[in-house]
Every structure is written in C-alpha cells, then in structure tokens.
C-alpha cells in the first residue's frame, strides 16, 4: 500500500513539475515574441563587419526547434547576407567592409556566394580588410578576398587541401553476425560499399579523386589569384603547411601583416577617418561606427511587390512522411500545391541541398513539380549537394544553376536490408515464423536472409527505378538513355564537371536562378516567398515534447552518445528499400 501511495504521489509531483516547466516555456515564448525590436540605423562613414559566428541558414527549414531552446527563430538567411553586401556597395554611409571570419559555419557553395558578393563589392572602390586569430581553411577562403589580410601573431590558418575518409562496417558485421544484404545498380553507387567492403573500390577512388581535385582546384585558384601567388607556389605552400606559422605564412604572401586585434581595430579607425576623443578610447568610438550584417540588413526597405517568385527550399535527406525534418514528401507535395493555387506567384525556384534518400519520395515530389511546370517556369538552384534523389527532383525544370564546387550527379540506385539473425542468436535470442505464403516473411524482417525470390525482386525493382531515373534525366537534359547511363552508374561529379557533361546549365547561385525565373516569367520586379511554410514554433515544440521528436527524448534521457547511435540506426533504417542516395559525405573545413 505504501509503495502504491508512493508511486501515486511521485506521479502527481512529476505532473505538477512537468506542467510548471511547460508553463514557464509558454510564458518565456510569449514574452520573447512580444518584445518589439528597435530598427537599427547606420551612421555615415561606417564599416560593415562580417563574422559569420552563427550557422548560415537558407530558410526556416534549416532551423531546428528544440525542447532545450526557447530562443526566437531566426529570420535572417544567406539571401539576406548577399542582399546586404550588394546594397552596401552603393550605400554612401558604408565606407568599407571588415572581415573577422574565423569559423565559417556554412557550406562551400555558401562561402563561394559570399566571396563573389565581396568581389563585386570591391568594384565600388571601397575597402575590404580581414583579421583572424585562428581561422579554418574555408574561413580563409573568404578572408583571402580582402585587400589586406591581417593575422594574430600566435594564431594561424591550416591550409592543407582536401581529403575524404570513408568508414567501413563489413568487418564489424562479420564479427558480430550482421549480414548487410545489398543490391545496387551502377559501379559508382558506393553508398553501400561500407557494408560489403573494407576499403574503397577503384571506381570510388576515381570519382573521389576527380571530384576533390575539381573542388580544390577551384578553391586554390581563387585564393592564389586574390593573394597574387602562382598556382604552383600556392600548392607548395599548402603541401608544406606554411600558413600554420604566421611569420612563415607572411613570408609566402598568405598574410600581409602580423598584428594584435586591437592594432587592427586602430587601423580600421584611421581608415574611417574617425577623430580621437580624450574622454573615450578609440575602440569605444569605433563600435558606434561598426554595424553587423544582420543589423545592416534590417535597415533596408523590404520589397513587397505583388508579383512573387516562390522559393521552395529542399534541404536534407528525402524521406516519405509529413513533417519538417529534412525533405518529407507529403510536406513538399502540399507546399507545391499551395504554390500552384497562389495567383500572385509567377515562377518557382527550387533550391536543392540534399544527398537524396527515398526513391519513392523523390518520385512523388518530382511528379508534383511536373504538374506545376505546366502553369509556371521552374528554375533550379543547387547548393552544396544536389546528388542522387536531390538531382532526381530537379528533372522537370527550365534551367539548372549550380556552383563549380557543388556536388551533384550520383544517378544510381541501391537497396539494402540488414540480416541480424546471427547477431541475436549469439545473445541466446531465437526467432521462429509461421507464414501463409512462401515470401510472407521477406523484405521486412531483419532476422532472416533474403530468399532467392526476394533477391530477384529487389534486383528487378532497383533496375526499374534506375531506368526511370535515367529516363527522367534524358528527357530533361535532352540526352539519350545511353548518354545518361554513361555518366550515371551512381557516379558523383563536381559542378565543374557536371557543366562539361551537361548535367547542369549554368554556374550561379540563388540570385542568378531568381533572375532567370523572372526573365522566363516576363516580370521585371518581384518579391520572393519561401516554402514550405513551417508551423508555429510553439506548436512544433509541443509536438516534440509530446513524443514526435524521439531523438530529443533519447538525448534527454540517455545522453548525447545514445542519441548519436540512434541517429546512425535511423539512417540505416531509412536506407531499407530502394534508395537514391549519395555515397558519402564531404565536409570542408
């Protein structure tokens, strides 16, 4: 009886505590949303400072609503950054730009777009200077566009080139009794190599070498040109890690001056022609003439033109379902239909940043886009990655833009069903089956191997999906089946190579795609509207608290490591069935 009363009491106390927390969260959200922000202003003779200390988001779909955070969702995106830099070029109040980029948290194509915007800004004759303590390779890629690069005496930059490391699980599967049953189409479709090999295949090494070579060639040429270094000398600097020691880096033209940050601030102070005040230190005066990029953007007038171009942001893994975690097919089908019904929308730009995923979900999204294309132009803009399913959904468009460093292609398909029978048997767990038909236990259980019938069925399904994929590409890119098949087979390409072989049309970013969409829609001025429309942040938060976000619950109960394991298992589970997914992940630091 005492135990029963104790359990009842603890339940009541727990519920009271839970509702108290929810109440506090609700109260905090209401307070935050009710605070009106004061619109910033720009003093004449100011410097625009870029630091990029926060992740670079492209749309609200990149935001993660967390039960551990009640901060106001960001409404500041890459497009806003580019518009701010473009406006500063002709703004008489802005004398120049100061870059303090140390840990750029965006992707390579985002860095490329920012860098191009800065190069365009420099044509105004205004200054661009940069300073860093310790910066990543990608941060230096942006900083190197400056007129002069200033470096902290005890900091450095690790310019080292690019590499890709792939982890393999076959030996672990053999050791613990898991048979990864894999069926794929295309010798380059290496997404499943880690499950049946212990090293890279020759085909995978070839595509990695070509792709990384293309991307590094683009990056290194941009840096070498800005720093007035020959290509050969820059490769020597990179191979020798000269940039890691400031004085050595300066000797080889990576840096112009080695000074402390306060000395750099004094330098900017003088460039702005500010006057010293005996009652204030220079840095205090400089702060009043320094404006961040988000504050600066908020001083600009918004464009509410009645002619609209919809931007459909497709970021993350493609899966079946209805939600805002990645690209869930039902959510995107609804968004496309919403765009079609809006009479003010004259064109669509599909912004893709996805390694692919479910073949079925990709087909669902492409089908809806093909219906939409009958009513308006569709232009595609590729971000860092538009591969496999990410490339698939772009195949009913008028034009495809990508950056030279975009990772794309991967026209290939695979299927995988793990068999963990031996693993569970080793724990003393056995299974038995009663079935009405010969293959009633196939393609769903992880405790038995694929039968010959199931294997043949999977192989046929993979071939059918691959052929459908190739036919979509052939139709959209105006090629023959054989021409696409020759550059398909699951092979991944850089944007540079993709343009050469006809997988994309032009180099350019989101703004180029918008300009092309406006041209095709025959409209001169327009405003943009982003899709899909997310739910109210509090509504999403409550859904996650109620159990929709299993990962967050696992993290809160068992810790970060358990959540990471869950994520890996989730990815493995998502790869059951027919997949159009990129074979590896490439991160550039």
Does 446 map to a domain? Answer: no
Does 488 map to a domain? Answer: no
What digits encode the pLDDT tens for the residues 529-584? 999 987 654 444 445 444 445 555 555 555 555 554 455 455 555 555 566 665 55
pLDDT for position 116: 96
Residue predicted with more confidence, 279 or 380: 380
Which residues does residue 127 pair with via DSSP β-bridges, in sequence order? Answer: 96
What digits encode the pLDDT tens for the residues 168-202? 877 877 777 676 776 666 565 666 777 778 788 88
Answer yes or no: are the C-beta atoms of 286 and 268 closer than 8 Å. yes
Q: For residues 408-433, give the mean pLDDT.
A: 74
pTM higher than 0.75 for the full model?
A: yes
Q: How does DSSP assign 303-370, residue by residue?
A: ---SSEEEEEEEES-EESSSSSSSEEHHHHHHHHHHHHH-TTEEEEEEEEEE-EEEHHHHHHHHHHHH
Question: CA-CA distance, 109 to 90, in Å (whole number)?
Answer: 25
Does 99 map to a domain? Answer: yes
Q: What is the CA radius of gyration of the chain?
A: 27
Does 552 map to a domain? Answer: yes
C-alpha 331: how far from chain center: 19
C-alpha distances in Å from residue 188, one per residue of 24, 356, 471: 53, 15, 19
pLDDT for position 121: 98
Of the candidates 93, 61, 88, the one whose C-alpha atom is nearest the C-alpha of residue 77 is 61
Walk across the sheet containing 94-99 and list its strands: 257-258, 148-157, 127-135, 94-99, 46-50, 290-292
The confidence band for 454, taking pLDDT boundaries of 50, 70 and 90, is: confident
Question: CA-CA distance, 484 to 467, in Å (whole number)?
Answer: 10
C-alpha distances in Å from residue 489, one per residue of 409, 411, 469, 483, 492: 10, 6, 11, 11, 9
pLDDT for position 355: 92
pLDDT for position 391: 96
Which residues does residue 506 pair with via DSSP β-bridges, in sequence order? Answer: 401
Residue predicted with more confidence, 354 or 421: 354
Domain boundary among 297, 315, 340: 297
pLDDT for position 575: 53
pLDDT for position 196: 75
Domain boundary among 257, 278, 297: 297
C-alpha distances in Å from residue 290, one per residue of 48, 100, 130, 142, 365: 6, 12, 14, 20, 45
- Number of independent structural domains in the chain: 2
Which token pair is 450? 């694929």
Mean pLDDT taken over the chain: 83
Does 94 map to a domain? Answer: yes
Question: CA-CA distance, 466 to 392, in Å (whole number)?
Answer: 11
Does 230 map to a domain? Answer: no
The confidence band for 74, taking pLDDT boundaries of 50, 70 and 90, is: low
Domain boundary among 253, 279, 297: 297
The confidence band for 75, taking pLDDT boundaries of 50, 70 and 90, is: confident
For 5, residues 6+ apart whose C-beta sits below 8 A from its C-beta are: none
Answer yes or no: are the C-beta atoms of 319 and 574 closer than 8 Å. yes
Does 121 map to a domain? Answer: yes
**pLDDT at 242 exceeding the cut of 60:** yes
Which token pair is 125? 């004759």
Does 80 map to a domain? Answer: yes
CATH number of the CATH domain containing 145: 3.90.226.10
Catalytic residue set: 189, 388
% of the chain at pLDDT higher than 70:
76
pLDDT for position 4: 45
The confidence band for 372, taking pLDDT boundaries of 50, 70 and 90, is: very high
Q: Residue 107: helix, strand or coil by DSSP?
A: coil
Question: CA-CA distance, 468 to 473, in Å (whole number)?
Answer: 9
Q: Which domain holds residue 548?
A: 539-577
Question: CA-CA distance, 301 to 303, in Å (whole number)?
Answer: 7
pLDDT for position 567: 53
């Amino acid at each position: 009886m005492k135990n029963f009363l104790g359990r009842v009491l603890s339940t009541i106390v727990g519920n009271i505590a839970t509702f108290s927390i929810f109440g506090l969260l609700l109260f905090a959200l209401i307070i935050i949303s009710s605070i009106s922000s004061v619109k910033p202003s720009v003093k004449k003779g100011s410097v625009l400072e870029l630091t990029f200390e926060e992740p670079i988001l492209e749309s609200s779909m990149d935001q993660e609503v967390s039960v551990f955070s009640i901060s106001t969702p960001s409404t500041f995106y890459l497009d806003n950054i580019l518009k701010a830099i473009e406006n500063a070029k002709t703004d008489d109040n802005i004398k120049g730009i100061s870059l303090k980029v140390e840990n750029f948290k965006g992707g390579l194509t985002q860095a490329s777009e920012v860098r191009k915007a800065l190069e365009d800004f420099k044509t105004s004759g205004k200054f661009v200077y940069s300073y860093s303590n310790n910066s990543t390779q990608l941060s230096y890629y942006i900083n190197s566009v400056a007129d002069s690069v200033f470096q902290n005496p005890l900091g450095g930059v690790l310019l080292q080139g690019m590499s890709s490391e792939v982890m393999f699980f076959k030996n672990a599967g053999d050791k613990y009794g898991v048979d990864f049953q894999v069926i794929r189409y295309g010798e380059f479709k290496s997404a499943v190599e880690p499950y049946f090999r212990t090293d890279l295949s020759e085909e995978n090494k070839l595509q990695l070498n070509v792709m990384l070579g293309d991307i590094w060639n683009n990056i290194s040429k941009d840096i070498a040109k800005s720093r007035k270094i020959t290509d050969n000398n820059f490769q020597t600097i990179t191979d020798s890690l000269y940039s890691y020691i400031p004085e050595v880096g300066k000797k080889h033209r990576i840096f112009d001056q080695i000074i402390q940050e306060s000395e750099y601030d004094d330098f900017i102070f003088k460039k702005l022609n500010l006057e010293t005040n005996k009652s204030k230190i220079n840095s205090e005066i400089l702060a009043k003439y320094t404006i961040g990029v988000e504050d600066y953007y908020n001083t600009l007038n918004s464009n509410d033109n009645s002619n609209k171009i919809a931007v459909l942001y497709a970021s993350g893994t493609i899966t079946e379902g209805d939600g805002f975690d990645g690209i869930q097919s039902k959510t995107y089908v609804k968004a496309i239909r919403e765009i079609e019904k809006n009479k003010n929308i004259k064109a669509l730009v599909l912004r893709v940043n996805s390694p692919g995923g479910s073949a079925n979900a990709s087909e669902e999204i492409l089908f809806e886009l093909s219906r939409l294309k009958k009513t308006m132009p569709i232009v595609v803009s590729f971000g860092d990655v538009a591969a496999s399913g990410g490339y698939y959904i772009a195949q009913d468009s008028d034009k495809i833009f990508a950056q030279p460093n975009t990772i794309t292609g991967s026209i290939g398909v695979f299927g995988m069903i793990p068999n963990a029978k031996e693993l569970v048997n080793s724990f003393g767990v056995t299974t038995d089956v009663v079935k009405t038909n010969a293959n009633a236990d196939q393609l769903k259980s992880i405790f038995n191997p694929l039968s010959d019938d199931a294997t043949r069925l999977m192989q046929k399904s993979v071939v059918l999906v691959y052929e459908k994929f190739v036919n979509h590409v052939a139709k959209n890119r105006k090629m023959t089946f054989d021409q696409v098949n020759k550059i398909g087979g699951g092979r991944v390409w850089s944007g540079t190579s993709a343009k050469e072989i006809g997988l994309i049309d032009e180099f350019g970013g989101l703004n180029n795609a918008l300009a092309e969409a406006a041209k095709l829609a025959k409209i001169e001025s327009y405003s943009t509207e982003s899709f899909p429309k997310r739910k109210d942040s509090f509504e999403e938060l409550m859904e996650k608290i109620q159990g929709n976000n299993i990962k967050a619950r696992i993290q809160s109960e068992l810790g970060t490591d358990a959540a990471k394991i869950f994520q890996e298992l989730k990815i493995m589970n998502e790869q059951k069935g027919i997949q159009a997914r990129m074979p590896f992940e490439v991160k550039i630091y």
